[in-house]
Structure 1
Amino acid sequence: MSLPPAPLALSLGDPAGIGPELACAAWAARAEHGLPPFLVTHGAGLLREAAARRGLDVPVARIAAPEDAAQVFATALPVLGDADLAYRPGEPDEDGARLALASLTEATALAVSGAAAAVVTGPIAKSELAKIGFAHPGQTEFMAASCGMAPEEAVMMLAGPQLRTVPLTVHCPLSEVPGRITMELILRRVRVVDGAMRRDFALAAPRIALCGLNPHAGENGRMGREEIEVIAPAIAALRAEGIEATGPHPADSLFAPHARGSYDVAVAMYHDQALVPLKALDFDAGVNMTLGLPIIRTSPDHGTAFAIAGTGAANPGATIAAIRMAAEAAVRRAQPSTSSG
């Protein structure tokens, strides 16, 4: 892998979850997976304890500036920042939430300033962060605000070796989904997806498949009219702009093996329509990537897993995949000429 122009910044996630141990596991596997230099923001002592609990030999080195990460990465896990806690896996609390927020804030600031080529976020506990006044629905919205953007300008994509999916609507009750699906929303989000596929994945003409909302994509209006009245007109408008959008496709067949080769990313109408197939296919290598931002942000597509934190059972595959995807996107952004071919 070519090296990004700066180190990546990893946030801890909730320190009682599996984020810290997986950051250590990723560093321990850096040579095997060809990972570029990265640093972790805050939690040096906690990381040492997490590595020891997992049985990993991970020296941790505090650094004074992000540019120092490359010098120490070969022999130690670089950590920037002094905030820390004792390691208490499986015991989330408000002190842990404060450390998680400090780590997230610092890592994001590094990416916004350009001192980090990308940010890779560890899994957080939204309920714990809410207790300390975190007002955002999740890290995606926090990222958008940190970049001076409205929440709706950030688009969540789930990506694995076999599939990429984007939920059109995300964290809302299923009963609200039909009312939220508008032509404007489809146009705005698919334009972001198209641009990101070109910029960060070097696809010259991204193929974007849109799911229907209803069973059998509405079956010509017999099972709902959203496909006829909203989704199909939006697809026609996108195609008129030169975006290679197709659909609406029945979601029950779009993710079958014979269909997945016909598109580069699928846009689903709601959260589970996008996440169920991705997690079924690529759970241990799934990455959450935020599209539409001036910075690169990825995250492993799993939660804090408090129940197994500190046991050594957590698989680092998704964290490693998130680091690789962020690094590859950073290299492409540093070489704009490659994004058109």
Structure 2
Amino acid sequence: MPDSKMPVIAVTVGEPAGIGPEISIRAAWALRQQMRPVLIGDAAYLAMLANEIDPSIRLMGISLQAMRNAGLPATDQQRVTVIDCPLNAHVIAGQLDPRNGRAVLQTLDVAVESVQQGWCDAIVTAPLQKSTINEAGVRFSGHTEYLAEKTQTPQVVMMLACDANPQLSQPLRVALATTHLPLRDVPDAIRSDELLRTMQIIDADLQQKMGIAHPRILVTGLNPHAGENGYLGREEIEIIAPVIAQAQALGLQVSGPYPADTLFQQKYLAQADCVLAMYHDQGLTVLKHASFGLGVNITLGLPLIRTSVDHGTALDLVAQGVGHADTGSMQVALRTAAAMAMTNIKK
């Protein structure tokens, strides 16, 4: 951990024409007494935007070379550090520009480097626009895949989480066996070896990064009614249930498969630390209904801590000017990353 009493969190500000820079600045400023957020983006643009948001916000820019030479400079809690990753084109709010795609990608590279070099303890990512990076000539499918490749991680797991609220009596965590796939491709993507590894990753990271000593994982079925004994599909019988048995034999507290349409009730969730859903909308529709704007995306399996917001770039909202963005999810992402960093350090 860097020489600080508080966790140091690298924050990539995301697509410059989107909501990311504003929510990053506002959330970092609001939480600067609880942690040390370090913004990664174009220092001049962020300074201009910060002044537009609130003239009392104070940023301190440093070059990447200066950080490589001497690490992060000491600072008080009245300034937020910005590692400068200059953009290539002027930013017009709400209008994408592929000329800035490579600069956005650089912020991710710098964030990974900052953790690997010990300058920061965790990464929080604001939303970016995949199209601008691809149109800049770089094949890019998403934050999660890029970070996995960058850290040479063979398999990662996407998990979204939210705190207790009027609809939920306890925190809800939902991990996914498959992520961004067409629905017709999901059954073929559920393979025994990968599903078992997914369960092991969830179990390990809930212990090591979230401090849950004996994680309880509930697993959904793939088909309606969890296949109804094979009448509505055999994936539960041939793949999911046998993998659950393997995981149990390895000492994991895993159970299921449960019908997804009845699993998300308090009487079941009270017995769970995480639900493993088979595909994107099966699990995330429930979580986002209960917590949209206050959830956090956590990548499990990486050799570093990474959280993110649960929403996109909101280009239409940004075009209306500053002051319309809700920083709720970004603040949750920052607080979650800081808590995970502290757990990781204490173990």
What TM-score, normalized by structure 1, do the two folds share? 0.91
1:143-158 to structure 2, matched below 5 A, reads: 143-150=147-154, 153-158=155-160
Please name the residue that 2:48 is paired with. Answer: 49
**How far off its partner does 1:80 sit?**
1.2
1:107-146 to structure 2, matched below 5 A, reads: 107-146=111-150
**How far off its partner does 1:42 sit?**
2.5
1:51-130 to structure 2, matched below 5 A, reads: 51-55=50-54, 57-63=56-62, 64-65=66-67, 67-68=71-72, 71-72=75-76, 74-84=77-87, 86-130=90-134
Q: Give the 3-state SS of the residue equivalent to 2:232 in structure 1.
A: coil
Please name the residue that 2:323 is paired with. Answer: 312
> Partner amino acid for 2:84?
G
- The answer to whether the 8 A contact 1:28-1:56 is kept is no
Residue 172 in structure 1 maps to residue 173 in structure 2? no
- The answer to whether the 8 A contact 1:53-1:312 is kept is no
- The answer to whether the 8 A contact 2:85-2:103 is kept is no
Please name the residue that 2:246 is paired with. Answer: 237
Query: Going by fraction, where is helix more abundant, 1 or 2?
Result: 1
CA distance 1:82–1:158, change in 2 (3 Å): closer
**Could you report, residue by residue, the CA deviation over 1:280-314 in whole angstroms, capped at 9, with x for unpaired residues?**
11112111111111111111111111111134222
**Could you report, residue by residue, the CA deviation over 1:112-156 in whole angstroms, capped at 9, with x for unpaired residues?**
222210111111111111112332321111111111223xx1111
**How far off its partner does 1:89 sit?**
1.4
Runs (5+) with no aligned partner, structure 1: 337-341
Residue 279 in structure 1 maps to residue 288 in structure 2? yes
**How far off its partner does 1:70 sit?**
5.0
Q: Give the 3-state SS of the residue equivalent to 1:27 in structure 2.
A: helix
How much identity, in percent, do the aligned residues show? 38
- In the alignment, the residues of structure 1 paired with residue 21 and residue 205 of structure 2 have an alpha-carbon distance, to the nearest angstrom, of 29
1:159 to 158, 161, 164: 161
- In the alignment, the residues of structure 2 paired with residue 240 and residue 133 of structure 1 have an alpha-carbon distance, to the nearest angstrom, of 47
**How far off its partner does 1:54 sit?**
3.5
CA distance 1:232–1:254, change in 2 (3 Å): same
> Partner amino acid for 1:330?
A
Q: Give the 3-state SS of the residue equivalent to 1:285 in structure 2.
A: coil
**How far off its partner does 1:67 sit?**
4.8
- The answer to whether the 8 A contact 1:11-1:103 is kept is yes
The total of aligned residue pairs comes to: 329
CA distance 1:240–1:14, change in 2 (3 Å): same
- In the alignment, the residues of structure 1 paired with residue 289 and residue 251 of structure 2 have an alpha-carbon distance, to the nearest angstrom, of 32
Q: Give the 3-state SS of the residue equivalent to 1:223 in structure 2.
A: coil
Please name the residue that 2:256 is paired with. Answer: 247
Runs of 4+ displaced beyond 6 Å = none
Please name the residue that 2:346 is paired with. Answer: 335
- In the alignment, the residues of structure 2 paired with residue 21 and residue 57 of structure 1 have an alpha-carbon distance, to the nearest angstrom, of 15
> Partner amino acid for 1:280?
H
> Partner amino acid for 2:332?
A
What TM-score, normalized by structure 2, do the two folds share? 0.89
Runs (5+) with no aligned partner, structure 2: 164-170
CA distance 1:54–1:257, change in 2 (3 Å): farther
